[in-house]
Amino acid sequence: MRALICSTLDGIDALTVGELPDPELTAGSARVRIEAAGVNFPDLLVTRGLYQDQPQLPFAPGMEMAGTVVETADDVTSVAAGDRVFGFLPHGGFAEQTVAPAGALYPMPHSMSFETAAALPIAYGTGYHALVDRGRLASGDTLVVLGAAGGVGMAAVQIGVAVGAKVVGAVSSEAKGRAVASAGATEVIRYDQEALRDGLRRFAPDGVDVVYDPVGGDMTEAAFRSLAWEGRHLVIGFAAGSIPALPVNLALLKGASLVGVFWGRFATIDPAANRANFVSLTRMWEERRIDPVVSDPYPLDDAVEAMHLLAGRAAIGKLIVRP
């Protein structure tokens, strides 16, 4: 099968398009012809050996996909050949096919495109688990989304709006601000033009209820200092490249919570709850309460270009590869 191949841990510029052996069908699994695959920050890390679950070389990056079931193992009853599905993978999305556990595949609504479905697993799975399960976001709460214009941030904006929160999106350009406002954000803060804390004081002088933080770096402390009493700061990731250190007395003074969100582990430990979350997300999409913002798909030969856009934080919405 054709694939984007990582043969050395030298980063995305060392990736090449070539052929890998077809994956073997095993008990409890299904073979899926991949029609679309999402690009995510962990895809950058895994090509440099910096991700917590490191595949054996050589491998294809790509941790989420949508496609059509080609065949199933004899013991599989939850999906069948011809089913349109999406799902989360340890790796292997940037390839023509994959073999995945049947329990990790979710049905697509008939009218949903493969590109839209490929945008759901990580960004929307993480966003829903973070905001609803971990952050207890409620209607009327004020939610701040850092890095709001990327695929992960845009998903959080849309889910926050769907829940009924007042959403503040933090972005670094005019184009990103327009995209976040179009996604339903009540307010947009341009942190390339003003300090994040100043913008948050202007919009929420009494503090914010929930911070969604996939960025890390210098913005984390500024956002945490902007929490209201009993606020929740959700730690999603560190796209800025550095892991911040917080003065823990801030949590004491605000009665605030620093809440870790590891969606991948949650999905493994409690697959039934994760599946229920995707049922809710699919219903939200059918009701047009969420709608992933997806770029024009990149062919497999241009997948590295898409990964560079993500690495440079230049992407608006979700980047998709069509293997």
Radius of gyration of the CA atoms of the chain, in A: 19
- Distance between CA atoms of residues 137 and 144, nearest Å: 11
The whole-angstrom separation of Cα 107 and Cα 83 is: 7
pLDDT of residue 313: 81
Could you tell me where in the chain the CATH 3.40.50.720 domains are found?
A: 124-264
Q: Tell me, what's the pLDDT at 53?
A: 83
Which pLDDT score, from 0 to 100, does residue 242 have? 83
Q: What percent of the chain has pLDDT over 90?
A: 90
Q: Are 234 and 213 in contact (CB under 8 A)?
A: yes
Please check whether the domain covering 124-264 is classified as CATH 3.40.50.720.
yes
- What pLDDT does residue 157 have? 97
What angle do the packed helices 174-182 and 151-163 form, to 10 degrees?
30
Quote the tokens at residue 127: 């966003």
- Compute the distance between CA of residue 146 and CA of residue 216 in angstroms, rounded to an integer: 9
DSSP sequence for 215-248:
--TTHHHHHHHTEEEEEEEEE---TTS------T
> CA-CA distance, 1 to 60, in Å (whole number)?
11
Give the whole-angstrom CA distance, residue 22 versus residue 240.
Answer: 36
For residue 27, give the 3-state DSSP assignment: coil
Residue partners of 239: CB distance under 8 A and separation at least 6: 41, 147, 150, 214, 215, 216, 313
Q: Where in the chain is the domain with CATH 3.90.180.10?
A: 2-119+294-322
∠ CA 47-3-59, nearest 5°, is 40
Tally DSSP H helices, then E strands, for the chain.
11, 15
- b/e map 181-195, b = 16+ CB within 10 Å: bebbbbbbbbbeeee
Quote the distance between the C-alpha of residue 92 and its chain's center.
17
Burial group, residue 246, by CB count within 10 angstroms (0-12, 13-18, 19+) = middle
Q: Nearest-CA neighbor of 234 among 311, 156, 158?
A: 156
pTM (2 d.p.): 0.92
Task: For domain 2-119+294-322, give the fold.
Answer: Quinone Oxidoreductase; Chain A, domain 1 (3.90.180)
Token duo for residue 179: 């995209």
The pLDDT of residue 88: 94
323 exposed, middle or buried (CB, 10 Å; 0-12, 13-18, 19+)? buried
Residues in the chain: 323
Upstream peptide bond of 58 is cis (omega within 30 degrees of 0): yes
Pick the closest to residue 143 from 126, 124, 159 (CA basis): 159
Low-confidence residues of the chain: pLDDT under 50: none
